[in-house]
Amino acid sequence: MVATAQDAVPDDIGALRAALSAALARAEDEAARAALVEAELAVARAKASDDAALIAHQDLTIRKLQRALHGQSSERSARLHDQIELTFEELESTATEDEIAAEQAAALTTEVAPYVRKRPARQPFPKHLPRERVVEPAPTACHCCGGHRLRKLGEDITETLEVVPRQWKVIQHVREKFTCRDCEAISQAPAPFHATPRGWAGPGLLAMILFEKFGQHQPLNHQAERYAREGVPRSLSTLADQVGAGAAVLMPLFKRLEAHVLSASRLHGDDTTVPVLARGKTDTGRLWTYVRDDRPFGGADPPAVVF
């Protein structure tokens, strides 16, 4: 006679409860083993990511020392250096993500310790930054006995670096008009000064546009897109117009700087090729740099560089 699955099921309630408890115990054991394996894999992945980031950091440090000792040999080596920095950045981010994942996986078990990366000592925040003191509410009763006779013993301070996003605003220069009751002439204060002719940008905004373009190498189209996302749409031609006006206004300062540099008795020059994006292709531009620095020779004139 062939036994069926229904025949294998016990009839009495006690046996059913025992079988259910055994099944639940097996399921819990399997879940615990799965969590243990997952935690071990996460920790191993975090260790491997940390090792890869450490190797990339050491490689980057070696190349920086080589460039400091032997100088920049070619533009190709500079691009390779930038690529290594980008690789290190990606590996460092991945290592931190894997560390957090390993910590979360280890929290589900009691047999696997979380992996903690070794980090260099964090530098203190600059002292010139303003400090905003936020005092957390003090306890009103003792956490041990519940008593209310508390006296301040000291305090612990945890510093967090924060940034206030930039705020856009429109400054309205109001010039009231007055009429003379004797001659009926109209008197009014002169128009406010602008750094550029017919300028709509304040000096702070104008300086930011110029610095991002020439100091941070941010094209004007990227700036225009970012400003639009912040709720201040400005066309590309409008920004370019301000850049041209700003360059014209700064030209006297450039001429003074150029005259100071080129009048040096010792002049250092450099010719660097720069890829310039053109219509449908990339042209080769040239950047000439001239430097004066007489300090190694006992000179008292200030050093300067002109491009």
pLDDT in tens, 141-167: 888 888 888 888 888 888 888 888 888
Residues 108 and 40 in one domain: yes
Looking at per-residue pLDDT, the higher value among 193 and 3 belongs to 193
* Domain hosting residue 278, numbered range: 264-307
**52 and 101 housed in the same domain:** yes
pLDDT band at 169 (very low <50, low <70, confident <90, very high): very high
Kindly state whether residue 80 falls inside one of the protein's structural domains. yes
Q: For 202-206, 282-286, 302-306, which range has the lowest pLDDT when averaged over its residues? A: 282-286
In Å, what is the CA distance from 185 to each residue of 157, 174, 176, 188, 190?
65, 19, 14, 10, 15
How confident is the model at residue 20, as a pLDDT?
75
Q: What total of structural domains would you count in the chain?
A: 3
Is 305 found in the same domain as 275? Answer: yes
State how far the Cα of 17 lies from the Cα of 105, in Å rounded to an integer.
Answer: 32
Residue 179, in any domain of the structure: no
SS3 of residue 96 by DSSP: helix
Please check whether residue 35 lies inside any domain of the structure.
yes
- Report how far residue 29's alpha carbon sits from residue 21's, in angstroms, rounded to the nearest whole number: 12
Task: Report yes or no: 196 and 204 within 8 Å, Cβ to Cβ.
Answer: no
Phi-psi region of 184 (alpha: psi -120 to 50; beta: other; left: phi over 0): left
Answer for the pair 192, 173: CB distance below 8 angstroms, yes or no. Answer: yes
More confident residue, 199 or 132: 132
**d(C-alpha 237, C-alpha 230), whole Å:** 19
281 belongs to a structural domain? yes
For the range 270-273, what are the long-range contacts, defined as Cβ-Cβ under 8 Å and sequence gap of 24 or more? 272/75, 273/75
Residue 135 forms part of a structural domain: no
Q: Are residues 207 and 269 in the same domain?
A: no
Question: pLDDT tens, 218-261?
Answer: 888 899 999 999 999 988 888 888 888 888 888 899 999 999 99
Of 118, 141, 166, the last residue of a domain is 118
Q: Quick one: what percent of the chain has pLDDT higher than 90?
A: 19
pTM, 2 dp: 0.61
Q: Mean pLDDT of all residues in the chain?
A: 83
pLDDT of 76:
59
Q: Is residue 45 part of a domain?
A: yes
Instruction: Assess contact for 74 and 115: CB atoms under 8 A.
Output: no
302 and 223 together in one domain: no
